[in-house]
Amino acid sequence: MADPFTYGRRGISGRFEDAERELLRGLFRDVVALLEPDDAPDEDPLAALVGISPDAAEPEDPALKRLLPNVSTDDDEASREFRRFTERSLRESKAGALRAAALGLESRDMLLDEAAAAHWATALTDVRLVLAERLGIHTEEDAERIHEVTDWSDVEDDDVDAYLALVYNFVTWLQTTLVDAMMTAFRTRTSDGKDAGDGPQGED
């Protein structure tokens, strides 16, 4: 099977089958829905405008908590304070990346510029974090166990976990090829930069 993401002369390109695009759109949509804040109707509009969520609390859903983690391990008040001032924009930024990636799926062949690739990388990461939480991947051993589920023909129709595991492995594969392509693009950019830069050449 050809790599879904590849780096070439024109940049990073991505290509998916129709069924894969449909699957990814659904995953992106689900994570966007998870990230949407449950706005209280009596919310202070000024606080909303400047991006503060006065009542922000640690999410109860472990998957959402993984996307919006605490910033301190031992200072709950510091974590709450940080959350009040940053959580809303983090939610919006993540949802924005997921929406941008979903929009890119409108065409079968994608050519990703640097910003689009970054959106895809965070979108796929967030999908994997949510699926991993649903699959109970908490240790390296869990991850290996899930990684072994690779054959669609092994999955019974009603085996939701096995289906999720296959989806997780598929998204992991996408992420692997995307990060490889981004790394190559980054190396190419930085080595070009060195050639064109104001190095010591000519200054004996």
Partner 1 sequence: MSLSVATEPSPGLTEQTTSATDTANVVPWSLVVWNDPVNLMSYVSYVFQTYFGYSETKAEALMMQVHTEGRSIVSRGAKETVERQAIAMHNFGLWATVERAGEYG
CB of 91 closer than 8 Å to CB of 36: yes
List the interface residues with partner 1, window 153-182 (CB under 8 A).
172, 175-176, 179-180, 182
Binding status of residue 37 toward partner 1 by CB under 8 A: no
**Among 14, 35, 56, 128, contact with partner 1 (rule: CB under 8 A):** 128
- Binding of residue 66 to partner 1 (CB under 8 A): yes
Stretch that binds partner 1, among 20-28, 65-73, 101-109, 153-161 (CB under 8 A): 65-73
Q: What are the distances in angstroms from CA 16 to CA 9, 23, 133, 175?
A: 20, 10, 26, 13
Note whether 6 binds partner 1 by CB under 8 A.
Answer: no
> Residue 22 or residue 36: which is nearer to partner 1 going by CB?
36
Instruction: Give 172's strand partners.
Output: none
Contact 187, 193 (CB under 8 A): no
Q: How far is the CB of 41 from partner 1 (least distance, A)?
A: 28
Q: Can you read off the two tokens belonging to residue 15?
A: 């290509």
Using CB under 8 A as the binding rule, whether residue 71 contacts partner 1 is answered as yes
Q: What is each CA distance from 7 to 11, 18, 20, 30, in whole angstroms?
A: 6, 22, 20, 29
Q: Does 121 bind partner 1 (CB under 8 A)?
A: yes
Owner of token pair 């992991």: 172
Using the rule CB under 8 A, which residue among 82, 84, 162, 163 binds partner 1?
A: 82
Which residue in the block uniquely carries the two structure tokens 């890119």? 104
Nearer to partner 1, 20 or 81 (CB): 81
> Which lies closer to partner 1 via its Cβ, residue 22 or residue 161?
161
Residue type at 180 in one-letter notation: D
| Residue 151: strand, helix, or coil | coil
183 binds partner 1 (CB under 8 A): yes
Across the strands, what pairs with 5? 14
Tokens of 105: 């799926």
68 binds partner 1 (CB under 8 A): yes
Binding site for partner 1 (CB under 8 A): 66-74, 82, 86, 89-90, 93-94, 121-122, 125-126, 128-129, 132, 137-140, 142-143, 172, 175-176, 179-180, 182-183, 186
